[in-house]
Amino acid sequence: MAFDLQGWMQPHLLRVEQALSGGIDPAAPAGLGDAMRYAVLDGGKRLRPLLVLAAAEATGAPTLAAALRAACAVELIHAYSLVHDDMPCMDNDVLRRGKPTVHVQFGQAQALLAGDALQALAFELLTPLDGSVPPAVQAACVGLLARASGYWGMAGGQAIDLASVGGQLSEDQLRQMHRLKTGALLLCSVQMGVACGAVISEQTRAAFNRFGEVLGLAFQVVDDILDVTADSATLGKTAGKDAAADKPTYVALMGLQAAQRYADELAGEAMQALADTGLPPEQLTALQGLASMVVQRNH
Amino acid sequence: MAFDLQGWMQPHLLRVEQALSGGIDPAAPAGLGDAMRYAVLDGGKRLRPLLVLAAAEATGAPTLAAALRAACAVELIHAYSLVHDDMPCMDNDVLRRGKPTVHVQFGQAQALLAGDALQALAFELLTPLDGSVPPAVQAACVGLLARASGYWGMAGGQAIDLASVGGQLSEDQLRQMHRLKTGALLLCSVQMGVACGAVISEQTRAAFNRFGEVLGLAFQVVDDILDVTADSATLGKTAGKDAAADKPTYVALMGLQAAQRYADELAGEAMQALADTGLPPEQLTALQGLASMVVQRNH
């Protein structure tokens, strides 16, 4: 019987949404909680949280308590990066997930603070005070998320992106930019899930890392394809933006058809990496399904 | 013999500066490391790092390895908050520590990213991968710093500050704003130092918390006084800014003389809190000296 990805996703998405909503205090000072909730709730595919949960289940996490916190944390980091990325001094975008961006809705100063506070909240969620997550797991997840978010991760990738607008990047440079800007957080999602699971061999860990890296690359290639082929309503953000801004993309570099073939190749590599973990196939079905979804998505 | 605060500070400051410089990779992508180093190095009183180290020594930390990381982490959070606070959409300030602010020097987009990456780096420093800091200490420090930086800490205080410009705050509201905006990070500095030290009684911990709270309040009252009485060259930032922006301050609320008396009162309360820790007086001299410095500083 084929794996029912939607059937797996539905209860997991529900738990993520509930945890995110319960995790952001609406009473935070001076409307800051409202701006943060606006940035995070009622939108987003929650791909990163689902990867955390699927990886934790694949590696036999005893409960999802720690993984659910990691799932929310990585989504808060993702959400804050979108808030700051949309600001006038960065991409100056007014539409996100079909809604006005945070700075349009709440003003630039509040958007800046909401992004800052979302980053802090991610690390707060990873370090509960109630003893529900072992300190070693807390420390491991913080270490992974901080590195994936920082200057040798997402923020560094965005700096390269900024510096490259209108310029020419080689395929290697483009790959480096995306490995940091988008890939690091996707890889980190898999790694945090694994950190919440049972002890595994170094070979299994390496295979999961490979899976996370390839998935991150595939995600970006598909993103570049969608920027050209989808419309704004489907994307929930401004389509054709990268092309208009003369940003380097895989489509610009290799053409649309070759980019599509490349995405399919990467999907195959991701499946192979999962097989290389050596874990029983029935434990890997959710991760397989999510990887397929990344390549086949239309928004 | 009177305690030689300068003699204590000199080697500790040196270690902090070396650790900060060694902790921010200049090779980070697309000039991001340069902007981050510019924001952090060659400036700042390093009050928060010194509080961490003094509190760790007071409570018998076996080595300063963990405390030095916590000292750098809280300074990175402080530095990022200044970078973002100076941006045009916030305070729009062009001078900081006698130098052009980060967005003036590197552009707004890079300043935004540098601030974001400094926050991430703070949590990276708290979670070394080399086994030099016990996971429980890592988790404790991350938990303290994340909460002190976030929406119920520094970021929340800044949101109140933004919302209050031109308005009237009561003394209670003003105290709440500063407790979050400035006080949370100063209290956190003491708490992280204590977390790096030996096990202490609940009574001792409570006294340290009281010390950190009162010190934070005293710091802000003196800040408000200096905004009125010092010139820009001495402050290293634009003097008279709060008054010009019609921001609520203790001076505006209670008058200059009463504010000065209040600062002295708070200094006395801080010394009492230290005595209430029940620790041997010779272990508390550095914290006493730092508290005096906060109240007597001229910049």
A152–B contact, CB cutoff 8 A: yes
Q: How many domains would you assign to chain A? A: 1
* Tens-digit pLDDT profile for residues A26-66: 999 999 999 999 999 978 899 999 999 999 999 999 899 99
**Are B119 and A116 inside 8 Å of each other by CB?**
yes
Return the percentage of chain B with pLDDT > 70, whole number: 94
- Quote the tokens at residue A235: 């994307």
- Quote the tokens at residue A32: 């800051």
Confidence label for B70 from pLDDT (cuts 50, 70 and 90): very high
**CB nearest to B30's CB, from A36, A147, A160:** A160
Helix (H/G/I), strand (E/B), else coil: B95 = strand
Beta carbons of A78 and A155 less than 8 angstroms apart: no
**CB nearest to B25's CB, from A90, A121, A151:** A151
Backbone angles phi, psi at B96, to 5 degrees: -150, 125
Ranges B4-8, B168-172, B229-233, most confident: B4-8
The pLDDT of residue A237 is 63
Average pLDDT over residues B81-97: 95
Residues of A in contact with B90 (CB under 8 A): 109, 112
Q: What whole-number distance in Å separates Cα of residue B190 and Cα of residue A75?
A: 31
Q: How far is CA B162 from the centre of its chain?
A: 20
Q: pLDDT tens digits, chain A, 299 residues: what are they?
A: 578 999 999 999 999 999 999 999 999 999 999 999 999 997 889 999 999 999 999 999 989 999 999 999 999 999 999 999 999 999 999 999 889 999 999 999 999 999 999 999 999 999 999 999 999 999 999 999 999 999 999 999 999 999 987 777 888 888 899 999 999 999 999 999 999 999 999 999 999 999 999 999 999 999 999 988 987 666 666 666 666 667 778 998 899 999 999 999 999 999 999 999 999 999 999 999 999 999 888 76
Q: What pairs with residue A99 in β-bridges? A: A96
Dihedral angle computed from the Cα positions of residues A223, A226, A231 and A234, in that order, rounded to the nearest 10 degrees: -60
Helix (H/G/I), strand (E/B), else coil: A23 = helix
Biggest distance spanned by C-alpha atoms of chain A: 52
The radius of gyration computed from the CA coordinates of chain A, to the nearest angstrom, equals: 18
Q: What whole-number distance in Å separates Cα of residue A29 and Cα of residue A87?
A: 22
For residue A228, what are the domain limits? 5-296
A132-150 as b/e: b if 16+ CB within 10 A = ebebebbbbbbbbbbbbbb
Beta carbons of A196 and A67 less than 8 angstroms apart: yes
* Tens-digit pLDDT profile for residues B222-272: 999 998 898 766 666 666 666 666 677 899 889 999 999 999 999 999 999
Question: A95: part of which helix (H) or strand (E)?
Answer: strand A95-96
How big is the CA angle at B89 (ends B88 and B93), to the nearest 5 degrees? 35
Helix (H/G/I), strand (E/B), else coil: A237 = strand
Q: What pairs with residue B99 in β-bridges? A: B96
**Are A151 and B36 inside 8 Å of each other by CB?**
yes
DSSP H helical ranges for chain B: 5-23, 32-40, 47-58, 65-85, 102-106, 108-125, 135-149, 154-164, 171-178, 184-195, 202-229, 232-235, 241-244, 250-254, 256-276, 285-296
**Are A152 and B180 inside 8 Å of each other by CB?**
no
B101–A contact, CB cutoff 8 A: no
CATH number at residue B124: 1.10.600.10
- Quote the tokens at residue B209: 């918390």
Residue among A124, A126, A188, A191 with most chain B CBs within 10 A, to mutate: A124
Residue B33 has pLDDT above 70, yes or no: yes
**CB nearest to B143's CB, from A107, A127, A136:** A127
Closest residue in chain B to residue A117, using alpha carbons only: B150
Average pLDDT over residues B168-183: 89
Residues of B in contact with A87 (CB under 8 A): 89, 112
A165–B contact, CB cutoff 8 A: no
**CB nearest to A32's CB, from B25, B138, B159:** B159
How big is the CA angle at B52 (ends B176 and B39), to the nearest 5 degrees? 80
The pLDDT of residue A256 is 94
Mean pLDDT check: name the lowest of A218-232, B267-281, B282-296: A218-232
How big is the CA angle at B86 (ends B85 and B92), to the nearest 5 degrees? 120
Average pLDDT over residues B32-61: 96
Write out residues 242-261 of B within 8 Å (CB-CB) of A: none
**Are B116 and A113 inside 8 Å of each other by CB?**
no
A136–B contact, CB cutoff 8 A: yes
According to DSSP, residue A127 is labeled: S
This model of the complex carries an ipTM of: 0.95
Q: What whole-number distance in Å separates Cα of residue B196 and Cα of residue B142?
A: 12
